Structure 1
Amino acid sequence: MNAEYPHWQTVPLRWKDNDVYGHVNNVVHYSVMDTVINTWLIERGRLDIETGEVIGLCVESQCKYHASVSFPGELEVGLRVGHLGRSSVRYEVGMYSKETVIAEGHFVHVFVDRESRRPVPVEGLLRSALEELRTGLG
């Protein structure tokens, strides 16, 4: 695993992830990124996605594909924070299979008040969890 990422999570591929061309469809990569990010936020940042006052909204995402992968298999997914602002965060994600980079992408979340949808500062346990993922890149 690549030391550039402070956190790693294994994500199993599913039969339904393959498309008619016999490889994992591109939309699955976005779902994997979203899953790994939100797992970290819920488990480490104690983000309450169901009733919490603060939620994260994705305002930007991108994925670059380097190689294909197919079911059966799994992805080793690296997660880091490239930039942590007052109310936003840029996550950077690397997806690997057997030491081969499959895809690299990023998500930008803006944390907002659930009701008003206005940006709020990233504070407390959430900020601490995101700080753990900082790489010194931003």
Structure 2
Amino acid sequence: MSRPLKDRRRKDYTYFLSYRTRWSDNDSYYHINNSVMYHLFDSIVNTYLIQECGLNPAASPLIGLVISSFCEFFAPSSFPEVLDLGLRVNKLGSSSVSYEVGVFAQDQDRPAVVGGYTHVFVERIARKSAPMAPGTREGLSKLLVKSPGAAKL
């Protein structure tokens, strides 16, 4: 059985990206709006896909479509914090991948937020599910969490 998301630590994530919050990220309660968190998830996932998996969003024959997402909040964040985003892959199938993102305040070991989503790779035009490109799969496998009983999609 896996640990609750609130028990994650920095060491549970393989790839990191820093994000300097903006004044406009705050909502009227002076914390980062929940919709901004989904932008951050999208940013780290797509940065990894482009830089480490060779994906070219403008021209790749396959694209990833989000079929499910989640987000749990454990501590508030607000401008002018710098956030560290950690990325891992929890499940990797032939045409799908489940990402998890930990959002950490700088110098903190416990996440303020943990969330993520599942991509299904499809043909750009036909929108039919297709096996991901070998380079994409190879890159994503570097982030795959190796745990007993981990299932494939």
TM norm. shorter chain > 0.5: yes
Gaps of 5+ in 2: 1-8
Matched, 1:108 2:127: no
Number of the residue aligned with 1:54: 62
Amino acid paired to 1:23? H
Paired residue total: 138
Q: Which runs of 4+ in 1 moved over 2 A?
A: none
Bigger drift between 116-125 and 57-66 goes to 116-125
Amino acid paired to 2:112? I
Query: Contact 2:62–2:132 at 8 Å: present in 1 too?
Result: no
TM-score under structure 1 length normalisation: 0.96
Distance across 2 between alignment mates of 1:53 and 1:101:
35
Amino acid paired to 1:11? Y
Distance across 1 between alignment mates of 2:53 and 2:88:
14
Number of the residue aligned with 1:27: 35
Which is richer in strand?
A: 1
Matched, 1:119 2:116: no
Query: Contact 2:98–2:116 at 8 Å: present in 1 too?
Result: yes
Partner of 2:128, secondary structure, is coil
Which digits, 9 at most, give the CA deviation of each residue in 1:7-27, with x for residues without a partner? Answer: 111111111001111111111
Query: Contact 2:74–2:111 at 8 Å: present in 1 too?
Result: yes
Which digits, 9 at most, give the CA deviation of each residue in 1:74-95, with x for residues without a partner? Answer: 1111100000011000001100
TM-score under structure 2 length normalisation: 0.87
